[in-house]
Amino acid sequence: MEIRPITARETFPVRHPVLRKGRPMEECRFSGDDLGTTFHLGAFDQDQLVGVATFLMNKDIHIPEIAELKIHQCYQLRGMAVLEQYQGKNIGKRLLKKALEELKDKQIKVLWFNARAGAVSFYEAQGYQITGEIFEVPGIGPHLKMFKKL
Ligand SMILES: CC(C)(COP(=O)(O)OP(=O)(O)OC[C@H]1O[C@@H](n2cnc3c(N)ncnc32)[C@H](O)[C@@H]1OP(=O)(O)O)[C@@H](O)C(=O)NCCC(=O)NCCS
């Protein structure tokens, strides 16, 4: 298993079946995907891309625990996905670990995200904490804000 940088477009074959199943491919595009400050990581089994995650410079003003930070010190995780048949094989864990190394190199102070309720325990096991109340993302389902200070 190798983890290496990929482009936004390369994430779509994993984002689509895992996060936007049955929806138009266009919904796999995220705002900020192609910004210079954004990076995408892919996990490869041989030559097959099996897991993806996207990291964008962004601050959430609704997280009181990071109120003192500047936007350039904050990154958001989006589009974290592992192909169904590869889930539970530590690929998600390794994607996050690799990202944290890169973020620390960039002097980033916090990684935050809106976690699907079903994935909260996965992130908690990796040391991320919940902040605020559960909320609904229309068409996708219940979410919780989570973060980790680096
Ligand atoms: C959530 C997801 C990214 C995790 O990736 P993964 O490669 O399956 O997870 P890992 O194998 O690295 O799991 C690491 C640990 O978390 C546990 N875990 C994984 N997914 C879990 C979940 N949804 N709930 C609770 N625990 C979970 C694993 O059992 C493992 O535990 P262990 O270290 O005790 O063995 C992946 O399952 C996925 O793509 N799910 C569907 C899409 C999704 O929900 N994405 C997140 C959007 S916020």
Query: What does pLDDT average to over the chain?
Result: 97
Res. 17: pLDDT tops 90:
yes
Q: One-letter amino acid identity for 117?
A: A
* Average pLDDT value for residue range 117-139: 97
pLDDT over threshold 90, residue 122: yes
Q: Whose CA is nearest to atom 18 of ligand 1?
A: 122
pLDDT at 139 over 90: no
How do residues 37-72 score in pLDDT, each as one tens digit?
Answer: 999 999 999 999 999 999 999 999 999 999 999 999
Amino acid at 56: L
Determine the structural domain holding residue 97 and report its residue range.
2-149
Nearest CA to ligand 1 atom 44: 119
Q: 68 alpha carbon to ligand 1 midpoint, in Å?
A: 31
Pick the atom of ligand 1 nearest to 82's CA. Answer: 39
From residue 122, give the alpha-carbon distance in Å to each of 44, 95, 126.
Answer: 21, 13, 7
- Tokens in use for 137? 């993302």
Q: Residue 123 Cα, ligand 1 centroid: separation in angstroms?
A: 8
Cα–Cα distance for residue pair 103/30, rounded to 1 Å: 20
Strand ordering across the sheet containing 129-137: 2-6, 39-45, 48-57, 74-82, 110-116, 141-149, 129-137
Residue 67: per-residue pLDDT? 96
Domain count, the chain: 1
Span from the CA of 87 to the centroid of ligand 1 (angstroms): 7
- 132 close to ligand 1 (CB < 6 Angstrom): no
Model-level pTM greater than 0.85?
A: yes
Kindly report the CATH number assigned to the domain that includes residue 78.
3.40.630.30
Q: How far apart are CA 141 and CA 119, in angstroms?
A: 12
Say if ligand 1 is within 6 A of residue 116 CB: yes
Atom 43, ligand 1: which residue's CA is nearest?
81
